[in-house]
Structures are given as structure tokens and as C-alpha cells.
Structure 1
Amino acid sequence: MGDLEKNTTNENDTTASPDTGIADMEEFSPPPSGYRIAGLVTLPAYRSPIAQCLIIACVHLLVVGMFNVLSALGGGGQVNPTTSNNANTILYSLFCAFSLVSGSVCNFLGPKITLATGGIGFSLLSASYWSYNHNGNEAFVYFGGAICGIAAAFLWTAEGSMIMSLPLEKDKGKYVGIFYGLSFFGTVIGAIIPTVENWGVTTAGSVNDSTYIALFILMIMGSVVACGVSNPTKVIRSDGSRVVVPRQTTFVQELKNVALAVRREPWIILFFPYSFAGLWYIPYQSNDYNSYFFDLRTRAFGSLWFDFGQFAMAVISGLLLDFKRLGGRRQRAFIGWGFLFLLINAVFIGGVFPARRSQRGHPPSHLLDVEDSQAAGYIALYTFYGAVDGAWQTFAWWIMGTLSNDPLVLSIYSAFYKVFGAMGAAIVFSLDVRETSYQAMFGSYWGLLSGSLVLVLVLIYKRVEDTLSLESWRSPEIGMKEVNPDTE
């Protein structure tokens, strides 16, 4: 890792010294004061890490959260999932391709611009399904999927790098939990829209126009909220330290940073299979489970509970990973890994039974309705599928955050996570289009999750420590100069 001095900062230490010798840190300032309302309530300062975390979470809630509502309905809310599967194959293929450079683009443009463009790209996909309801124009849906994929690459990378770099080391799990918790809670609220709008449909129908219009408007609002994201150079933590900001370099140098990041942290390769498995669930759970067993209103109702499972487990996982009574950060990493491993295998053991009852091309003789007694067990399983995803995503961002405190490096790690996740999603959607058996879709997902977790266990053993040494998070060869903190 090099011969840099091995100064460390304990994650539980709330003090900091300006004599750390870190060239990338600005001078230390006193902690920002809060805003007092009527002398009773103190709110965090606008440019504090927690306030910025909440703004970013709101962007994610309105953009990605509403996209998740659309995805959880199965087939993009349509009866036949073929068009949706093809659009998602295009979406995740471009997501994968552009994620290769998204970290560099994010560092070049800054998080505000990168996030603000995301909602526009996502909203086109909802608009395309709205149009498809009337004219069956597949080309527009494919175009919407393409633009959404490009926007997603940049939006996810900007969000990930900010959430992992804003907090102090001791608060990273809490911030990831807040980010995903608020985002998934918004998804739960958003899922009420299709549930209410389509409550009267007890057949395998398509969602109505009002659902697509509402999701379109909310996604656009996400771009507006993104304008409130502050320049990272202005953010001051509770101990008075500033967020380490990416150095402004040439675009070519930014692209070279991707290779430099892997060379400097070769163990990150063990994280790639985990990333690849992260989005493999979408076609099986939304198309091959939700759409297969339920009528339209129960699909919408089930997606609401799926989103609730994501929300609840994201919060629980974030709190668990930062619960100091469980030991140091390294020990909590092993505990978090064990919790996730047990959760996944317990849920998928339960999923074996409905998977064996489903057969592609042969729909059930009776679609389950929310009022059927049998539906409760199937909806409960769908809720736990959501819980697996909430725990998986939270653990991913927390683990990446343990490897560095540098936003530039973290944006590259975030890009890696989305590159391989999008690659996996593109492949699995193409498998769904080719009508791969439901049992194979289910088994491949279970196998990928469990197998990739074993590799992450090695990464934890080799690289996760109770605190980051100076050499572990400072990246002297990545970037050329610092940003002026006095410029916005």
C-alpha cells in the first residue's frame, strides 16, 4: 500500500487535529450552529452533513424510489412484460457502460449538476409507459429505457460517493441507514399511488394513466430538489473538519483514476461478484413472482409491502452496523455479514415452495387476490424479498465506506458497484425475455447471492479495520489539485 506514515484517527474520536499532514483537508473550522425555531427546536445547519444527507435521500426517494414503484408492479405495470423486459435490457446495458465513466463525470461536473439531470432521465421512462398505454409505441419505451439507463449511472454514483464521504467514520452506517431508510419509506408512500388507482382491477390488467402521470411528476420534482445540494467544499462536520473534496483534474486523468483505484486497492475485485448479484432479483421477483401469482390490485398492494420490507431492513441494518456495543467496526462487519447470510438463506428456503409451483407459459388457474386467504403467505414472502434487498444494498454501501474516506475514490467504488450490478441486470432481463424457466431464475439468484457473500467475507477479513490509516484513504496519485473551498 505504500510507505506513507501510518497515522490513524479512531472512529469514536470526535476531536481532530489540523496537524494531520493531509494535503487534501481544508483548515478546520468550528462546528456549524443549528437554526433555532421559536427557541424550542434546533435544526441542523443547511450545509451540515446530516442536512445534505437528507436532501440527497429526498432526491433518491423521488427519482429512484418512484422507478422502484414502477418496477415492483411487474412488466412496468403492463400485462405483457416483453416490452418492459426489452426496455430494461437496454436500460441496464447502458447503465453498465456509462457507469464505467460515471465516477469521472461526477467528479468533473460536481454532485449538484449530476443529480439534477437524473430525474429528467428517469421521468422519460414513466412518460414512455404512459404513451404506450395509448399507442403501443415500443420504440418510445426503448428510448425511455436508454435515457433512464444513462441518467441512472450518473445519479447513483453521485449519491453513493456523497453518502459515504459526508459522515465521520463512526457515523457511516447511520448515514447509509438514513439514506436508504428515507428513500425506501418514500417508495412505500409512492406505492400507495398504484394501489389506490388500480384497486378496482381484479384481473391481470395494465395500470392506468394516472399512475404513470403521478410518477412522472414526482421524478421531475427530484431534479428540482437536487438543486439544493451544496458544494462538498462547504460542508463542515460536527468535529469542525471539512469533507475531503475531489481534486479537479483533466477528464483523461479522471478516466485513468479508475485503473489507479484498482491498482491501489486490489482487494476491491472481491466485491465485484457481490455487485453483479445486487440487481439480479428484479425480473424474477417483479415479473416471475408478483405478476405471475397476483391480479393487478394485489400486484400493487404486494409491491407496497415489498417496499416496506426494503425500508424496514435498511434502517435495521444501518443501526446494526453502527451499534458500538457489538464491538469495533471490524467485528461489526463480520456480524453484519452473518446476519445478511442467515436472512438470505432463510427467505430463499421459503421461496422454494412457490417457485416449484410456477411454470412459464402456464399461468395459474386462479390469480391470487388480496382478499384470498392464500394471498397472505405469498405477500409476506414478497415482503421478505424486499427485506433482503434493503439489507443487501445497505451492507454494500457500508462496506465500501470502510475502505476509504476520499469522495473521489468512493465515487469510483460506487461506479464499480453499479457497473457490475447493471451488467447482471441486463443479463438477467435478457434471460427473462428468452423465457428461462422460473426455477432457473430463482436458483441463479439464490446461488449468486450466497456465493458472492463468501467472497465479501474474504474482503472483510483482509481489508476492514476499526479505523482507516492515513495511507488507506489518502490517494496521492489520484488527482492533481484541490478545489478552492471559497467557490461554489
Structure 2
Amino acid sequence: MDVEKTPSDIKDQPIDMDDPHAAVAAQEGVYSDPPKGYRILGMTIPAYRSPIVQCLIISCVHLLVVGMFNVLSALGGGGQVDPTTSNNANTILYSLFCVFSLTAGSVVNFLGPKITLAAGGIGYSLLSASYWSYNDNGNQGFVYFGGAMCGIAAAFLWTAEGSLIMSLPMEKDKGKYISLFYGLSFFGTVIGAIIPTVENWGVTTAGSANNATYIALFILMVLGSVVACCISNPSRVIRNDGTRVFIPRNTTFVQELKNVVLAIKREPWIILFFPYSFAGLWYIPYQSNDFNGYFFNLRTRAFGSLWFDFGQFVMAVIMGMLLDLKAIGGRRRRAFVCWGVLFVLLNAVFIGGVFPARISHRGVTPPGGLIDLTDTSRAGGYITLFVFYGCVDGAWQTFAWWIAGTLSNDPLVLSIYSSFYKVFGAMGAAIVFSLDVHGVSYQGMFGSYWGLLAGSMLFVLVLIYKRVQDTSMVVTEAVPHEKVVEEAPDAVEAK
């Protein structure tokens, strides 16, 4: 008779994942020895198939693909003087992002993370290539095609990354892994932002980014697809406590929709997460086009976006550290404390943002003309505000994934939650880019941005109160090919 192993019963023989019976057993919770690291110069280097190394590889993919996309977006108007073409492309991008995110879970489960992430890099690179072409021939159609391909690729890439980053670590390390993921990607964005800053340093007018900027970003995005090929099959990854990552079985589109319904039925409070998700990408057109693109000349736009990305990096790391800081207390208390930190931060920053919003008007040059970074009397304050906008975003995204990760440890459920976050976020982005195209006043864009963020946080506060506990979740199989979530007994007692 087979006896299921426990952490204390781990033997010296690891499970052979080439054996299908052993693979299934591993998915159902059988324990195995974690991979041993390598001793080099007195230091222990984690094993290739350890969760931390896989997290680093995934972060590098995100750094090279989404990070470079963020560099492009932060320039305002895709680096162009007139943001109309960029706004239309982004409306297409986020509309398709929203639609395809609904099917992303089944595609990711069928293709696996390696193929999904590699294809994502190719899709993103087409957008950079389209702006490169637009600089030479003004071909709007190619830019719209690039936006469409980027939107489809983004749906699959974000779903794959989200489910992996939230499921690879042990529960106590989720904040660390999420902050590592976002911290590295935002740091990469900082490094990437040096490219347009250097390439366009001599442009003191409104100006468009030069071809070298787009070529460099294109190459880096393609490199992200190459790095994605180094990702290991998650079924071979063993956590430090000897547990393996559960790998969802291949599902059909119909089954995926059933899983979405099932996930909501089992966790109806997740609906409170939807407004927060909807507001998550609302910032892009206001910050990039209506603030950065409006007040600054080209080189200052590039310079400011570099520091914006630095703000994202710093706050992503700080928020992740706070979310795992045991000195604050249990997971539930940490959720409340970090919610308070984020709420105070965003409202303080937006109070500062009221003053430039009041003097900005579409089609009217800012008072005193475009700001150059040498104009210290104005540039310092405006760039500082832009940096704090980045801080809000870095903290926002890290907190979002951590909250979703507290609701389950099952990658199938987490892939659905990740899809929820991106579906509603992309829906909001598509709407707000359309508003920007139709000329909504800068004050209206700013007010909607502030109101959505502050209001959606109140819904998350209720979600934390109702559902975030200090306990883990366990996975049980209710029907074939469907995973549902049930609370551990101690979670019930905690209520």
C-alpha cells in the first residue's frame, strides 16, 4: 500500500517527473527533496529548478518585454509629438487585451509558460517596430496592427506570469517574490529609460523619439522571448519545504469559463477586487500624455520617465517588504497596515497633483512654455510629482497581486484571479484611452483617475476584512479537471 509522504518523511529519492504516475502524485501533494544549490567561492547558488531562480528568470522576461513597453509608454504618445495615433493603438491594444484575457487561462495551461512567454515577447516587439516604421513613413495601419498583436500577447503573458509568481513561493514568501518580480522589472525599466534619455538628449522641443530609440527597445523585447526559453517546467520545481507546484491540467475554453464561474461561486467576495483592478491601468494616458507629454519637452519627458520608473521600483520593493514583515503582525494585520500606507500615499500625491492639473488645458501651451530640465525653478517640482506618481503605481501593482495571492495557493485559481485583474484593468485602460482621444479635459482625466483609485480602495478594504486570514488555503478536487478552494479548518476557526 502506498503511503503519502509528509515533510518529516522526505526521503533521499526525489520523484522522477518522467514517470506519469509520479508526476500526478507530485501534483497531488507528495513531497520530495528540494534541489540542492551549488557552492561557488564559499557562497551557495540556488539550484536552477528552485522557485527563486525561476522567479528571477520570469522577472527578467518581464523586465525585457513589459519593462521596455513601459519605457515606450512613459515617453507620452509612444514617443510621438501627436498622441492621437498612439491613443488609438492603445485603445485597440487594451480592448483586445481585455477580450483575450478571458481565454488566456486555457491557452496558458495548454501551451505551458515557456511557449506563452516567448510568444508574448514577439507580440510586444511588433509595437516597437511599428513606431520605428511610423517615424519613416507615417504608416498608422502598422501601428494599429502592432497594438493589436501586443494586446493579444499581453493577455497570455500576464496570465502566465501572474499565476506562476503567486504559486511558486511558499505562502510566507509571496510578498518577497512579488516585490522581487516587480522590483526587477521596474529596475529594468529604469535602465531601459536611459536609452531614450541619451538618444534624445539634444531635443529641447516637443519632438518625436528617434529611430535608434525604437530599434533598441525592439531588440530588448525580442531578447525577452529568448530568455523565456530558459524557464523550467513548473512541475519540476520543488519548494524549500519539499512541496511541488500544482500544475493545472489542460482545459478547454468552455471548461475555463466554467472554472471562472466556479471560482466566483466559491469566492464571491472576489467581486470587491474588480473595481481595484479596473482602476489599475487608468493612470497611463493622464500621466504619460496629459502630464509628462504636456508639460515637458522631449528630453525632459525621457529624463522624467526614467525617474518615474525609479519611483515604481522603490515602492514595489518597499511594499513587498512591508507585506512580508512579520514584525507588523500576522498576514491579516499586514494587509490592513499596507492598505493604510497605500491609501495615505496616493491621496497625498494627488493633492499635490491638483495644482498642475488646474493650469493644464488641451491645445494650449503650458504657462511659461514647455519645461526643460535646466529650468530648475519649475522642473524640480514637476519631475518630483511625476516620480511620486510612479511610487503610487509601484505600490498599487504589488499590493494587488499580494491580495489576490492571499485568497488561494492553487495556480489554476490564481490564474483566474490574475485574469480578472488584467481583464478589468485592460477594460479600464481601453476606456480611458478612448476618453483621451475624444478630448476630455485634463481636469476631468485627473479627477476620474483620483476618484477611481481612492474609491476602489474602499472596496478592497472590505475584501480584506471579510476574506484575508492568517491561514493558508488547501486545494481539493471536486469534479474531474476542476479545482475548487476550501478553507483549512483553522481558517474557519479564525472567523
Q: TM-score interval w.r.t. the shorter chain? A: over 0.9
> Distance between the aligned counterparts of 1:468 and 1:26, measured in 2?
15
Q: Does 1:415 align with 2:423?
A: no
SS class of match (1:36): strand
> Distance between the aligned counterparts of 1:305 and 1:128, measured in 2?
26
> Distance between the aligned counterparts of 1:478 and 1:458, measured in 2?
33
Aligned partner of 1:237 in structure 2 is 239
SS class of match (2:145): helix
Q: Relative to 1, partners in 2 of residues 1:137 and 1:225: Cα closer, same or farther, differing over 3 Å?
A: same
> Distance between the aligned counterparts of 1:303 and 1:196, measured in 2?
12
> Distance between the aligned counterparts of 1:225 and 1:28, measured in 2?
29
Quick one: which of 421, 424, 433 aligns to 1:429? 433
Is the 1:236–1:242 contact (alpha carbons within 8 Å) kept by the matching residues of 2?
yes
Q: Does 1:361 align with 2:381?
A: no
Quick one: which of 421, 446, 451 aligns to 2:450? 446
> Distance between the aligned counterparts of 2:192 and 2:473, measured in 1?
42
Aligned partner of 1:94 in structure 2 is 96
> Distance between the aligned counterparts of 1:478 and 1:130, measured in 2?
49
1:274-310 deviation digits (Å, cap 9, x = unpaired): 0000000000000000010000000000000000000
Distance apart, 1:478 and its partner CA = 7.1
> Distance between the aligned counterparts of 2:97 and 2:137, measured in 1?
27
> Distance between the aligned counterparts of 1:258 and 1:478, measured in 2?
15
Q: Relative to 1, partners in 2 of residues 1:340 and 1:477: Cα closer, same or farther, differing over 3 Å?
A: farther
Distance apart, 1:107 and its partner CA = 1.4
Q: Does 1:31 align with 2:26?
A: no
Is the 2:27–2:245 contact (alpha carbons within 8 Å) kept by the matching residues of 1?
no
Distance apart, 1:15 and its partner CA = 5.4
Distance apart, 1:212 and its partner CA = 0.1
Q: Does 1:394 align with 2:393?
A: no
SS class of match (1:419): helix
Q: Relative to 1, partners in 2 of residues 1:379 and 1:474: Cα closer, same or farther, differing over 3 Å?
A: farther
> Distance between the aligned counterparts of 1:477 and 1:421, measured in 2?
31
Q: Does 1:134 align with 2:136?
A: yes
Q: One-letter code of the match for 1:162?
A: L
Distance apart, 1:477 and its partner CA = 4.1
Is the 2:77–2:87 contact (alpha carbons within 8 Å) kept by the matching residues of 1?
yes
Is the 2:248–2:412 contact (alpha carbons within 8 Å) kept by the matching residues of 1?
yes
> Distance between the aligned counterparts of 1:450 and 1:203, measured in 2?
35
TM-score by length of 2: 0.91
> Distance between the aligned counterparts of 1:478 and 1:68, measured in 2?
41
SS class of match (1:63): helix
Is the 1:360–1:435 contact (alpha carbons within 8 Å) kept by the matching residues of 2?
yes
Distance apart, 1:252 and its partner CA = 2.8
> Distance between the aligned counterparts of 2:196 and 2:278, measured in 1?
30
- Count of aligned pairs between the two proteins: 462
> Distance between the aligned counterparts of 1:311 and 1:93, measured in 2?
27
Aligned partner of 2:487 in structure 1 is none
Aligned partner of 2:16 in structure 1 is none
Q: Relative to 1, partners in 2 of residues 1:146 and 1:342: Cα closer, same or farther, differing over 3 Å?
A: same
Distance apart, 1:255 and its partner CA = 3.0
Aligned partner of 2:61 in structure 1 is 59
Unaligned runs of 5+ in 1: 1-13, 482-488
SS class of match (2:372): coil
SS class of match (2:39): strand
Distance apart, 1:17 and its partner CA = 7.3
Aligned partner of 1:145 in structure 2 is 147
Aligned partner of 1:123 in structure 2 is 125
Q: One-letter code of the match for 1:348?
A: F
> Distance between the aligned counterparts of 1:33 and 1:126, measured in 2?
41
Is the 1:67–1:122 contact (alpha carbons within 8 Å) kept by the matching residues of 2?
yes
Is the 2:200–2:210 contact (alpha carbons within 8 Å) kept by the matching residues of 1?
yes
SS class of match (2:478): coil
TM-score by length of 1: 0.92
Distance apart, 1:254 and its partner CA = 2.5
Q: One-letter code of the match for 2:237?
A: V
> Distance between the aligned counterparts of 2:59 and 2:311, measured in 1?
18
Is the 2:160–2:415 contact (alpha carbons within 8 Å) kept by the matching residues of 1?
yes
> Distance between the aligned counterparts of 1:478 and 1:270, measured in 2?
29
> Distance between the aligned counterparts of 1:172 and 1:208, measured in 2?
40
Distance apart, 1:363 and its partner CA = 1.7
Identity of aligned residues (%): 77
The structure, 1 or 2, with the larger RCO (C-alpha pairs under 8 Å, 6+ apart) is 1
Distance apart, 1:260 and its partner CA = 1.3
Q: Relative to 1, partners in 2 of residues 1:199 and 1:238: Cα closer, same or farther, differing over 3 Å?
A: same
Aligned partner of 1:324 in structure 2 is 326
Q: One-letter code of the match for 2:40?
A: I
Quick one: which of 374, 379, 396 aligns to 1:375? 379
Runs of 4+ in 1 over 4 A off after TM superposition: 14-18
Please give the root-mean-square deviation of Cα atoms over the aligned residues, in Å: 1.5
SS class of match (1:476): strand
Aligned partner of 1:486 in structure 2 is none
> Distance between the aligned counterparts of 2:286 and 2:235, measured in 1?
42
Q: Does 1:45 align with 2:47?
A: yes
Aligned partner of 1:265 in structure 2 is 267
Aligned partner of 1:215 in structure 2 is 217
Is the 1:260–1:478 contact (alpha carbons within 8 Å) kept by the matching residues of 2?
no
Quick one: which of 52, 68, 71 aligns to 1:69? 71
1:229-265 deviation digits (Å, cap 9, x = unpaired): 1111100001111112212334432232111111111
Distance apart, 1:36 and its partner CA = 1.8
Q: Relative to 1, partners in 2 of residues 1:338 and 1:299: Cα closer, same or farther, differing over 3 Å?
A: same
